[in-house]
Amino acid sequence: MRALLKDIEGIPTLTRFGRVARIEGLVVEVTGAQGAISLGGQCRITIGNNEKIPCKVVGFRDGRALVMPLGPLDGISLGARADFEDRPCPSIPPKLGWDGW
């Protein structure tokens, strides 16, 4: 049984990802989003030097996620890999009394 559990732990987790299809202003469109991520989720776009730029999903268009980078856009190119993480993006409310921000 322990050997089986060890084998199961060794199985790599499934990573859903897409590709940068369009950049317009500060918004980046990422393919492969359908069923992989929800509004408010995160993705990380890998740029040329293997650096990852965190992004937040702010909408959808034609089956693509519209993401807003949480840093500079420098280095993002068409076709760059975007790994989806369907969990809420951390945020800081402007005031402590703001529940549900």
Each domain of the chain, given as residue ranges in start order, spans: 14-85
Confidence class for position 10, pLDDT limits 50, 70, 90? confident
User: Once rounded to an integer, what is the mean pLDDT over residues 7-19?
Assistant: 80
- Please state, as a whole number, how many other Cβ atoms lie within 10 Å of the Cβ of residue 79: 8
pTM for this one?
0.73
Q: Comparing C-alpha atoms, which of 51, 100, 96, 50 is closest to residue 72?
A: 51
pLDDT of residue 87: 63
Residues 20-45: tens digit of each pLDDT: 999 999 999 999 888 878 888 999 99
Contact 62, 39 (CB under 8 A): no
CATH of domain 14-85: 2.40.10.170
Using CA atoms, how far apart are residues 19 and 63, in angstroms rounded to an integer? 12
